[in-house]
A and B are shown apart, each in its own frame.
Chain A
Amino acid sequence: MEWEPDSPRPQVELPREPYDRWVSPAGYCQAEFYRDERGYLIRFPSQADFLIEVKSGDGGEFRITGWPTPQCDAKTTLNLYHNAIQPILGNHSGGLFLHGSAVCARVEHHSDGEEGAVAFLGLSRSGKTTLAGSFAQAGHPFLTEDVIDLARSDGRYLLQPKRSKLRLFADSARHLLGRDTEFENDDIKQDVDAGAGLPFADGAKPLRQIYVLGTDLRADLSIRQFSLQEALSVLLPNAFILDVEDKASLRGHFGRLADLSQDIPCYALDFMRDYSELPRVRKAVLGNLANG
């Protein structure tokens, strides 16, 4: 049964200080993490509270209750559930979830001739979703727009398809789907469903490469492979952590990311954030994939 949020309620001041915060590069608080006698409370300011109750004796099972604020719609709460809460709990339970988008790309030279996945990591608003949409528009179906869910199988990392939606700002949506694309509000991201113009992948694909989008929005197009140590250091901040004080969990998480950094090539990808540049970026990534 699909998870649903509870009735809206205002966010009252909590009696204790958060033990962790997510802070955006611009300095505003995106999420606060509190301890609760039942488990954890994760607050997304002005958006929603999520209570994570840890079921005793069930080996890492959780009961999740989410309350949107009165000014937050159900769709936003669901996005927080899928794009933050689920990956946070997935990593806490021994999974491997990263913040990023991913697309399918056929790799002709691989002996199995199988389509592979290419993942794009980066800070919020760094262009991950638009880049994934650009690949989809060019015939490379997207697998996910915000959460990279990896499962190890036979020495590979299978990247699971997530929701068949891209969350886009109006200008990106109009670039990808046409200038007459209708949007309710041009100032916030909205869900755009997959379709003929933006195909969605139909199954898990083996991860071939990871690209980390640079922060210089006016940089020239370049791709540089990270050393294995650099790769580990750039993967760490792109993973979701529930409890920064749970050292046993962090040890396991560090080990899984260290394995990933050694098994999958990881690259720095810089490019000018200009829609006209996207075809060149796609060509460069696909060329690098073919040569990899």
Chain B
Amino acid sequence: MQLSDRFAVSADVVAREVGGEMVLLDLSSGQYFGLDPVGGRIWELLAEGPRELAELCDSVEAEFEAPRDRIEADLLALAKQLKDQDLIVAA
């Protein structure tokens, strides 16, 4: 996976912010997942429309105080988890 990869949220997933965290329900499997506030913000951005991971890094860097290299590493790891669970799809 690379920062130039572009993703969108799966049409089979519904999401709601609950108590400051994003809860996702995969309608296909019935499984649900939780995202922390940063992950929830990334989900919100993806829900607005397909994005490159690099664009998401830019947004996170602008909104949260963290070094760029850490943001990129964390975002790549999160995107892999979301893709492995079919919660996001290549766009």
A interface list, Cβ under 8 A from B:
227-229, 232-233, 236, 244, 247, 250-251, 254-255, 258, 261-262
Interface of B is mostly: strand
Whether the Cβ atoms of A233 and B27 lie closer than 8 Å is no
Interface of A is mostly: helix
> Which residues of B sit under 8 angstroms from A250, Cβ to Cβ?
14, 25, 27
> Which residues of A sit under 8 angstroms from B14, Cβ to Cβ?
250-251, 254-255
Say if the beta carbon of B80 comes within 8 Å of chain A.
Answer: no
> Which residues of B sit under 8 angstroms from A236, Cβ to Cβ?
25, 30, 32
Do A229 and B19 contact each other (CB < 8 Å), given the known contacts A236-B32, A250-B14? yes
Which of B11, B12, B19, B30 is within 8 Å of A228, CB to CB?
B19
B interface list, Cβ under 8 A from A:
11-12, 14, 16, 18-19, 21, 23, 25, 27, 30, 32, 34
B50 to chain A, nearest CB (A): 20
Measured in the bound complex, the distance between the Cα atoms of B34 and A228 in whole Å is 11
Do A233 and B32 contact each other (CB < 8 Å), given the known contacts A247-B27, A258-B23? yes
Which residue of B11, B12, B16 has the most chain A CB atoms within 10 A of its CB atom? Answer: B16
Which of B11, B12, B23, B30 is within 8 Å of A229, CB to CB?
B23
Measured in the bound complex, the distance between the Cα atoms of B21 and A258 in whole Å is 12
List 12 A-B residue pairs with CB atoms under 8 Å apart, sorted by A's residue number: A227-B19, A228-B19, A229-B18, A229-B21, A236-B32, A247-B27, A250-B27, A254-B16, A254-B25, A258-B23, A261-B18, A262-B19
